[in-house]
Amino acid sequence: MQKTRVTRRKFLKSAAQAGTVLAVPMIVPGSVLGKDGAVPPSEKIICGGIGLRGRGMGDLRWMMGNPDVQFVADCDLQKKQRQIVKNYVDTQYGNQDCKTYPEIHEFLAERTDIDALLIATGDRWHAMASILAMRFGKDVYSEKPSAMTIAEGRAVVETARRYARVYQTGTQRLSEPNHVFCIEMARTGRLGQIHTAYAHIAPWDAAQMRHDWLPEAPEPPKDEVDWDAWLGPCPWRPFNPGYVSGGWRGHYDFHTSCIGEWGAHTFAQAQAGLDCGETSPVKYQYVENDSGDGMVTTFASGVKMILSRGDKYWHGSCGERFDGPGGWVAAADGYSKPDVSSPELLTQFKKVVGEYVARTGRSLDHMRNFLDCVKSRQEPVANPRVMHHSMTTVHAANVCMWLKRDLQYDPVKEEFINDDEANRFRSRAMREPYVY
């Protein structure tokens, strides 16, 4: 056999012509292969945001703290806030890659690469943005309160089901160990048959909200603040800078009252412990005050959930408590450990929380639970139905306070019983073109 001398130049040329990839491993960074703890691009969850400020910025830091997240774009109708988010993201990644968008439909249509969205708009946009995002094939983490009406909550549930989307509402205490312990102590019967739960409502504002308008002010350029889009499905009203700086709270068109402000959290917590996460109370007892403090709600089983303002049953914010013949447990923000009626109950803490994790496979980190479900396609702890039924309790309690009389509710038919006046509050008129 005749030997042929092959030079390095000839070898490389022939290899290139043949499409060989022999040399590729020499130039691929280790991060692409997942070395040294890096997450390879194929395992990244591509994320974006809508309406991130205040609480939303905290959520953004939380989300980006996960190494398998790549945050790529933000949509906001306020130019200043778009730039704030971009500056933060670009600084964290050391590049200029975060894109910004002023209009939600353009954003959703263009960014087909995005897997999941963080939604932290004002309350009036939570359901609308979630529905649009899921229709465009995005999974959603939405801040609470996630629905302004019973009808909006049902629309979120049906959209998630129809488009097979993962949805988590931001009731993060459902994933925190102290609250998980209390919920599981109640749910598993360790306190005996629970007869009463207590759920915290916010100590500011009132159940009866404002229907007036703030004074009209000159409207800014659309690029600075898109006022029409800011209002979204709400009735039109003149611009006032107080609205866009957070002064929308306490106004009927934009808010869910002091009951919804914390009840969006605590009703979900209490209902989880009562194993009533996918139903709502059937009776609402009016109380003669401006907040709903002391309102007794009753489930079909006869178990009561009482709305409470202040620190009668806990210290801290967003608390829940469960009372049974075997004692009581309670938790709220700022606790190093839950409150219990007897120290012996706390000896079960690690066992109870560990059994919960083993049974559900869920992370005790609410954002991580969502991200895990984006990958696994399982349901997170605060799935659409949990959100809808706890928010239904919020809305029914509000209607009870607004009408100043007791109400009965059918959680299966999702309507007040023989009460046309109350049923009119199950939905609100939506302003074109902001309809779902």
Task: Give CA–CA dist 85/57, Å, rounded.
Answer: 8
Other C-beta atoms closer than 10 Å to the C-beta of 353 total: 16
264 and 405, same structural domain? yes
- In a domain, residue 249? The reply is no
178 and 94, same structural domain? no
160 and 71, same structural domain? yes
133 and 178, same structural domain? no
Query: pLDDT value at position 18?
Result: 46
- In a domain, residue 27? The reply is no
- In a domain, residue 412? The reply is yes
Domain stop point among 170, 198, 219: 170
Query: pLDDT value at position 11?
Result: 40
264 and 398, same structural domain? yes
226 touches 351 (CB < 8 A): no
Residue 390 pLDDT exceeds 70: yes
Residue span of the structural domain in which 107 resides: 39-170
311 and 383, same structural domain? yes
Q: What is the CATH number of the domain that holds 396?
A: 3.30.360.10
User: Which of 1-15, 27-41, 274-288, 297-311 is predicted least confidently?
Assistant: 1-15
Query: pLDDT value at position 12?
Result: 42
186 and 159, same structural domain? no
76 touches 52 (CB < 8 A): yes
Task: Give CA–CA dist 241/227, Å, rounded.
Answer: 10
- In a domain, residue 1? The reply is no
Instruction: Identify the helix (H) or strand (E) that includes residue 368.
Output: helix 366-376
- In a domain, residue 9? The reply is no
- In a domain, residue 29? The reply is no
Helix (H, G, I), strand (E, B) or coil at 199: strand
Other C-beta atoms closer than 10 Å to the C-beta of 22 total: 10
Tokens for 317?
Answer: 């914010």
Residue 3 pLDDT exceeds 70: no
**pLDDT per residue as tens digits for the range 190-231:** 999 999 999 999 999 999 999 999 999 999 999 999 999 999
55 and 204, same structural domain? no
413 and 271, same structural domain? yes
Q: What percent of the chain has pLDDT over 70?
A: 92
Q: How confident is the model at residue 120 (pLDDT cuts 50, 70, 90)?
A: very high
Instruction: Identify the helix (H) or strand (E) that includes residue 47.
Output: strand 45-50
Mean pLDDT of the chain, nearest integer: 93
270 touches 175 (CB < 8 A): no
Task: Give how far the C-alpha of residue 237 lies from the chain's centroid of Cα atoms, to the nearest Å.
Answer: 28
Residue bearing the bigger pLDDT, 25 or 317: 317
Tokens 């039924």 correspond to 389
Beta bridge partners of 298: 283, 304
395 and 379, same structural domain? yes
Beta bridge partners of 210: 251
Residue 108 pLDDT exceeds 80: yes
Other C-beta atoms closer than 10 Å to the C-beta of 40 total: 13
76 and 164, same structural domain? yes
291 touches 263 (CB < 8 A): no
- In a domain, residue 355? The reply is yes
Q: What percent of the chain has pLDDT over 90?
A: 90
- In a domain, residue 25? The reply is no
**pLDDT per residue as tens digits for the range 140-190:** 999 999 999 999 999 999 999 999 999 999 999 999 999 999 999 999 999
161 and 203, same structural domain? no
Task: Give CA–CA dist 276/300, Å, rounded.
Answer: 10
Q: Quick one: the chain helix, strand, coil %, rounded to 5? A: 40, 15, 45
**pLDDT per residue as tens digits for the range 32-79:** 555 666 788 889 999 999 999 999 999 999 999 999 999 999 999 999
Q: Which residues, other chains included, contact 71 with Cβ-Cβ below 8 Å and sequence gap of 6+?
A: 47, 48, 49, 60, 63, 64, 89, 98
Q: What is the CATH number of the domain that holds 108?
A: 3.40.50.720
Count of domains in the chain? 2
118 touches 60 (CB < 8 A): yes
Domain stop point among 122, 144, 170: 170
Domain stop point among 170, 200, 219: 170
**pLDDT per residue as tens digits for the range 323-362:** 999 999 999 999 999 999 999 999 999 999 999 999 999 9
